[in-house]
Amino acid sequence: MATIIDGRVVSASIRESLSREVQTLVSQGLRPPHLVAILVGNDGGSQTYVGAKEKACHEVGFLGSVIRYPETVTEEELLAKVNEINHNDQIDGLIVQLPLPKHINENRVTLAITPEKDVDGFHDVNMGRLTKGADGIKPATPYGITLMLKHYGIPTEGKHVVVIGRSNIVGRPMSILLSNPGETGNATVTVCHSRTPNLTWFTQNADIIVAALGKPGFLIGDMVKEGCVIIDVGTTRVDDPTKKAGWRLCGDVDFASVEPKASAITPVPGGVGPMTIAGLLVNTLKARKAGLAARTA
């Protein structure tokens, strides 16, 4: 029977620690960290994610704000707001919820956020620091996954890790974090994608698999070896008339066929999702501390 890697439990532990740190800051007469999210349009998934982030901020004692724009907002208006927040010393972290409407260049908006406030870890400067193994803000989802591996004592050193998916949000930074020196690094990492021939050969020879390709139920039991650790990053909405909402979240892993062979596995929901928010909160506190240090230097 596989160990179920419960992201909710790990996230709760991290939030408790963060809450204590915030209380210490406030007791010293300092303001708590402040995270701002910009939400464009009325996408249901985006609203849910931003709401969860705002709630998590308040639970740990952060200041959490959401700035909402209609889908018709211009790129220039959005960039102006980002620039305003960049120069606001009362705000430590800024995220722009993706996806954005097609008339807005996501890359331009992402790069407009100053690296010091880019708590999602998407900016080229933060990605560059990650690649070099330098200290900096790490992409929230991959960072959250490493925190989860650490909590459960799952070793990565010397292990063969297969990352399925090469996005700049999860796949690429995940491969770098796991191969970099460190407590949750030193792995031998193979990045597979849609052009990888005989992908099953790689997954069958993996000690750890991180599935982050956005295809529900893609990884099945025949594709993994006994004792493999499975990290499922997928969160696709699929129709389900038995659910009140009419849909359910489905991961990239066929849990029913993979779980009996795995030594440990993340569920969907309740696995990686809570850890993305935990990573975001840790990054925001890091940004707050960096800002304090810069002002007292």
**Mind listing the pLDDT tens digit for each residue in 1-54?**
899 999 999 999 999 999 999 999 999 999 999 999 999 998 888 888 899 999
CA distance 197 to 163: 15
Quick one: tokens of 5? 């890697």
* Residue-averaged pLDDT of the chain: 95
For 269-288, the pLDDT digits (tens) are 999 999 999 999 999 999 99
Based on the residue annotation, tell me whether 89 is a catalytic residue of this protein.
Answer: no
For residue 253, what is the DSSP state?
B
What's the pLDDT at 247?
84
| Cα–Cα distance for residue pair 208/206, rounded to 1 Å | 5
What pLDDT, on a 0 to 100 scale, did the predictor assign at position 297? 60
Catalytic residue selected from 120, 232, 252, 254: 120
Express as a percent the part of the chain with pLDDT over 70: 99
> Which helix (H) or strand (E) is 229 found in, with range?
strand 228-232
Mean per-residue pLDDT, 130-149: 95
Tens of pLDDT, residues 69-113? 999 999 999 999 999 999 999 999 999 999 999 999 999 999 999
Angle at 13 (CA atoms; ends 36, 37), nearest 5 degrees: 10
State in Å, rounded, how far the first CA of the chain is from the last one: 53
Of the candidates 216, 213, 206, 212, the residue with the CA atom closest to the CA atom of residue 262: 206
Residue 28 appears among annotated catalytic residues: no
Q: What is the pLDDT of residue 1?
A: 82
- Asked if residue 296 has pLDDT above 90, the reply is no
CA angle (129 as vertex; 93, 154 as ends), nearest 5: 90
Q: pLDDT tens digit string along 223-273?
A: 999 999 999 999 988 888 888 888 888 999 999 999 999 999 999 999 999
Mean pLDDT in residue range 175-199 = 96
Q: Which of 81, 92, 97, 286 is catalytic?
A: 97
Q: Where are the alpha helices (DSSP H) in the chain?
A: 7-27, 44-60, 75-86, 106-112, 124-132, 140-151, 171-179, 199-204, 255-258, 272-296
Question: Which domains are seen in the chain, by residue range?
Answer: 29-114 (3.40.50.10860), 140-273 (3.40.50.720)
Per-residue pLDDT at 74: 97
Q: When comparing pLDDT for 135 and 67, which is higher? A: 67
Could you tell me if 40 and 69 are in contact, meaning their C-beta atoms sit under 8 angstroms apart? yes
State yes or no: is 120 an active-site residue: yes
Question: Which entry of 53, 117, 138, 286 is annotated as an active-site residue?
Answer: 53
pLDDT of residue 293: 84
Structure tokens at 94: 């800024």
